[in-house]
Amino acid sequence: MANYSHYAEGLKHFQGPGPFYVAGAMSGTSLDGLDLALVSFTPATSGTRWRYSVVKHTCIAYEGTPWAAELSAAYDQPTQVQKGISAAYTTWLNAQLHAFLEDVHVDAIASHGHTVTHLPDQGLTVQIGNDPHLADGFHGIPVVCDFRVADVARGGQGAPLVPLADACLYSEYPICLNIGGFSNASWDIEGQRRAGDLGPANLLINHFAQRLGIPFDPGGQNAQKWTADTATLETLRQLPFYAQSFPKSLGREWVEQVVLPHFASLTDQTALATATTHAAWAICHGIQDAPLGTILATGGGALNDFLIAKIRIGSGRKVVIPTAVERDFKEAICFAFLGLLRLRGETNVWSSVTGSREDGCDGIIYV
């Protein structure tokens, strides 16, 4: 398997006017499933911005597959075991991409992989499913993956990476908010993009929903029935993370080691209400210094009506939920875009967002 970055001739194709058809693959911390989107991108020209259109999309649920358990277990495994899981997951991901892209035109593929370790302050971030055989059988179509490692090596957080795509594709919204396993947001201040993780969201909410025997809390209807524990809420608000300035990012490790112990004495019902209320507070707290204006909210948490209502009240801002495709597949769309920028040799990671020493054109390319 060759590294495609050695093939300058192949890269010339992506310097043209487009459109370019790029498939994006995203697996988030909340472990809902694999999001796939095939997106047509037309580069910006003088007086215009980047344009995109989603050609097709699908979500392959992890429930009913071995990955529901195996990806969850991978977080606690030693490096060698994670490598074995990564190889198997890469094979599965390759098969899903082949099935998804059968009988359609595609110029490139960009895959985030699945994060199993994120400790940027220790120089560590690991996304499994980014092995070279991800490109098997695609007959010269470049596959871009492993986006975060290079930024961490430059001293950055390696996250969030989507804000650059936010600025290029969704510039009409002052704030772009994604509510997945964690919440994160981005906005412009004085000509620079600022962003960061805000707090735990679906990762924590789903944890307590599942303890009540449901995979998630539809619309927040269960959390809405119960009362959050005020003492726990106040304790959570005092966690050092919330006093840190941006850029900053979170990993599952932080939730398990720092956050969950504070819920130990609560009933599952109270814990669910408390987790949802805290998720809303963390978002409002995190964006308090962002410019005034509308929030574009995407990700699975945008379906939680109770959570969204709390964000509207707590922030005093209008919150817009886009079309179902953009709401559910925005991260896959954005990683397809970041992969395309990598192939064009353009910056796809901003140091103003991640805190690294310099901007990057990141991602490993296989063909």
Give the residue extent of every domain in the chain. Answer: 4-158+346-366, 162-325
Give me the amino acid identity at 61.
Answer: A
Q: Note whether 33 and 68 are within 8 A (CB).
A: no
Q: Percent of the chain, pLDDT > 90?
A: 88
In this prediction, residue 2 carries a pLDDT of 43
Distance CA 117, CA 126 (A): 5
Q: Is the confidence at residue 142, as pLDDT, over 80? A: yes
Could you tell me which residue, 77 or 242, shows the higher pLDDT? 242
The mean per-residue pLDDT over the stretch 235-263 comes to 95
Instruction: List, edge to edge, every strand of the sheet that includes 175-179.
Output: 192-200, 182-189, 175-179, 295-298, 319-320
Comparing 28-32, 37-41, 333-337, 342-346, the range with the smallest average pLDDT is 28-32
In this prediction, residue 48 carries a pLDDT of 84
In this prediction, residue 10 carries a pLDDT of 59
The mean per-residue pLDDT over the stretch 15-22 comes to 94
Distance CA 109, CA 90 (A): 14
Place of tokens 């993956």: 145
In this prediction, residue 25 carries a pLDDT of 98
Q: Which pLDDT band, with edges at 50, 70 and 90, does 3 fall under? A: very low
The mean per-residue pLDDT over the stretch 68-97 comes to 93
Q: Is the confidence at residue 7, as pLDDT, over 80? A: no
CATH class of 162-325: alpha beta
The mean per-residue pLDDT over the stretch 158-166 comes to 94
Q: Is the confidence at residue 9, as pLDDT, over 80? A: no
In this prediction, residue 13 carries a pLDDT of 85
CATH class of 4-158+346-366: alpha beta
Q: Is the confidence at residue 292, as pLDDT, over 60? A: yes
In this prediction, residue 30 carries a pLDDT of 81
Q: Which pLDDT band, with edges at 50, 70 and 90, does 167 fall under? A: very high
- Secondary structure of the chain in the HEC alphabet? CCEHHHCHHHHHHHHCCCCEEEEEEEECCCCCEEEEEEEEEECCCCCCCCEEEEEEEEEEECCCCCHHHHHHHHCCCCHHHHHHHHHHHHHHHHHHHHHHHCCCCCCEEEECCEEEEEEHHHCEEEEECCCHHHHCCCCCCCEEECCCHHHHHCCCCCCCCHHHHHHHHCCCCCEEEEECCEEEEEEEECCEEEEEEEEECHHHHHHHHHHCCCCCCHHHCCHHHCCCCHHHHHHHHCCHHHHCCCCCCCCHHHHHHHHHHHHCCCCHHHHHHHHHHHHHHHHHHHCCCCCCCCEEEECHHHHCHHHHHHHHHHHCCCEECCCHHHHHHHHHHHHHHHHHHHHHCCCCECHHHHCCCCCECCCEEEC
Q: Do domains 4-158+346-366 and 162-325 have the same CATH topology?
A: yes
Q: Which pLDDT band, with edges at 50, 70 and 90, does 313 fall under? A: very high
Using CB atoms within 10 Å of the CB of residue 102, give its burial: 0 to 12 exposed, 13 to 18 middle, 19+ buried.
exposed
Q: Percent of the chain, pLDDT > 70?
A: 97
Non-local CB neighbours of 279 within 8 Å, separated by 6+ positions:
179, 183, 199, 200, 201, 204, 205, 301, 307
Mean pLDDT taken over the chain? 94
Distance CA 290, CA 147 (A): 26
Comparing 144-148, 204-208, 245-249, 265-269, the range with the smallest average pLDDT is 245-249
The pair of three-digit structure tokens given for residue 366, joined into one six-digit string: 């296989």
